[in-house]
Amino acid sequence: MKREYDFSKLKEVKNPYAGKKKAVGINLSPEVLDYFKELAEETKLPYQKLIDLYLLECAKKRKKLDMKWVASPAAASAGRGK
C-alpha cells in the first residue's frame, strides 16, 4: 500500500444512481411497518428498500387494488339521510 495516492489524473464519473430515487413522506399502518421490518431482519435488507421493491413490482405489473369496501349498517343508513 502506498503512503500517498495521486488522484489528480482521475476522470470525473457521474453517479449513475443520483436522481433516480425521490424522497417522499408516507403514512403506513403499524401492521405494514411491522411486516416489512420483520422481513428486513430475515433478508438483511433495509425495510425501506423492501417496501420500494414491492411497490416497484406492483407498478411494473400494473397491479390494481381490489377495493371492495363494506360499510357498517350505521354508516350505510347515515349516508341515506335517515
Nearest to 35 by CA among 56, 25, 50: 50
- Name the burial class of residue 40, with classes exposed (0-12), middle (13-18) and buried (19+) by CB atoms within 10 angstroms of its CB: middle
Nearest-angstrom CA–CA distance, 42 and 34: 13
Residue pLDDT, tens place only, 25-61: 999 999 999 999 999 999 999 999 999 999 999 999 9
What was the pLDDT predicted at 11?
87
Q: Under a CB-based contact definition with an 8 Å cutoff, are residues 36 and 50 in contact?
A: yes
Angle at 76 between CA 71 and CA 77, to 5 degrees: 155
Residue pLDDT, tens place only, 70-82: 777 766 566 655 5
The domains of the chain are located at 28-63
